[in-house]
Amino acid sequence: MGPATTGEAIHVEPAPASELVNPYARPVGPATIVIFGAAGDLTKRKLIPALCNLWSENLLAQGCAIVGVGRTALDTATYRKRVAEDVAKYATHQLPPSVVEDVISRLYYVAADFTDPASYALIAAELSRIDAQHATGGNHLYYLSTAPEYFAPIVEQLGAAGLVEESNGAWRRVIVEKPFGVDLESARVLNADLRRVLREEQIYRIDHYLGKETVQNILVFRFANGMFEPIWNREYIDNVQITVAESIGVETRGGYYDTAGALRDMVPNHILQLLALVAMEPPTSFEAEAVREEKAKVLRAIQPMTPERVLTHTVRGQYGEGSVDGRQVAAYRSEDRVPRGSHTETFAAMQLSVDNWRWADVPFYLRTGKRMARRVSEISIQFRRPPLLLFRNTPVEHLSRNVLVIRVQPDEGITLRFGAKIPGPSVRMSNVAMDFRYKDHFQQAPSTGYETLIYDCIKGDPTLFQRADMVEMGWAIVAPLQEVWSALPPRSFPNYAAGTWGPKEADELLERDGRKWRRIE
């Protein structure tokens, strides 16, 4: 049998209009959302547009206000004008002018030094005035959209100013952006610094990947569909592949990226969270702690890497010059603010093993990289092949694996590939696909990925946020790789051309097991 071809996707009817109503029954309670780093890139590109989307869907209370805190010397009027321009540029879809006006009318700015106690006295006075004006109930959500070195100092100053104390029924919560540390030891130190001021219940460690609809749908897909959960184990699944690839390079972030690299930037947080959702046992309920505990059990069950295993079961790479989308691009070492002899990896791949009853002997292959052939994040569940015995007297030479692909971005959806007989007198087979796409079935406006996370934090639901122990377990899993890779500088960098799927050693990682990476078109 020749190369498999993909047949026509099976049509899925759009959801009825009655099913497209926002599932949330009511807006979250009143609150003041305080964004530290208000003049930064994340705030203008993601956070403010996310708040506009929540407001347009009536998911924020009337008693809602937003306070931007930044080191840039601005007043509220200037900041509002700047935000209005940013929303016009970065909104995920066309918003009614009234929505933008309502959000901006609730927006304020405080210029502050993040380490100066006097600045927090100004913040406290402004919050007191705004709470009274907008009837927020004294509820405060502090979003730390700053450089990581400010996380602990900001929380310490908030504590010293009495701004995280909960009284008279008001709550105080803190969202901490990644990177949450740079290794296991720094993550432990940061956790300890935060918990000297805050209770664990007040800390929301955010991973924006978990705000994506497809990621959240993994739980529903697995546990609400009786056809999949019985076969979600070592008896039926041959291997699991998780790919998080970007076609872009480091752009203007060369200085930061060269201190991070692909491993630290993506694996301990995004990719291990995806793995945990795929591999977790059914929780007793969808309550936050039930879900988070099952995810934590998966991370605890990942077999620790020995130095020898790091050498044989992991691959690192760095892109050289090449072609992406028909355009010539420079090598990593030629990027702005990247040292010419940099040893920082822009690609990482590995095989991990989940050492429990469900997943024994099922390899989990992970890969992530910059300047790859295309931008895609997906989870590929590769099922075991059935015996060929039944087809021994037919032209069928081999049976392809059934593959379930969960596409996280950019084309969110789920595809199931399986074999079907080609019409004709002889038994010949081809691969066909059942294809579900969010944009076709649920005609919803595009989002930033932060809407659900901000909504859940105001609501007090930590399900999609990481606990302290989960963060530390993620770093513990990659710690052996960090140690070996730092001790043994790479000899072959750059070792893959921009616009490809990484170094040949990543292919060999699977080929020696008789497997291949799923071909991504």
Secondary structure letter of residue 500 according to DSSP:
B
Residues of the chain with CATH 3.40.50.720: 26-177
Which residue spans of the chain are classified as CATH 3.30.360.10? 211-382+449-458+467-511
Joined tokens for residue 368: 């992530």
Tell me the C-alpha distance between 141 and 137, whole Å: 12
pLDDT on residue 179:
86
* 3-state SS, residue 78: helix
- CATH number given to 211-382+449-458+467-511: 3.30.360.10
483 exposure class (CB count in 10 Å sphere: 0-12, 13-18, 19+) = middle
Please say whether the structural domain 26-177 has been given the CATH code 3.40.50.1970: no
CA dist., res. 182 & res. 344, Å (int): 14
- pLDDT, residue 9, reads 44
Q: Are 444 and 412 in contact (CB under 8 A)?
A: no
Catalytic positions, written as ranges:
270
Give me the half-sphere count of Cα atoms (radius 13 Å) on the Cβ side of residue 232: 20
Contact yes or no for 373/499 (Cβ under 8 A)? yes
Length of the chain: 521
Q: Which has the closest alpha carbon to 78: 108, 48, 98?
A: 108
pLDDT of residue 1: 38
Q: What is the phi-psi region of residue 3: left when phi exceeds 0, alpha when psi lies from -120 to 50, beta otherwise?
A: beta
Q: 117 preceded by cis ω (within 30°)?
A: no
Two structure tokens written together for 295: 């995810």
Task: Point out the residues of the chain with pLDDT beneath 70.
Answer: 1-25, 388-399, 419-422, 426-430, 432, 442-446
Q: Which residues pair with 245 in a beta bridge?
A: 369, 376
Phi–psi pair at 493, nearest 5 degrees: -70, 140
- φ/ψ of residue 299, rounded to 5: -65, -40
CA distance linking residue 476 with residue 177, whole number of Å: 19
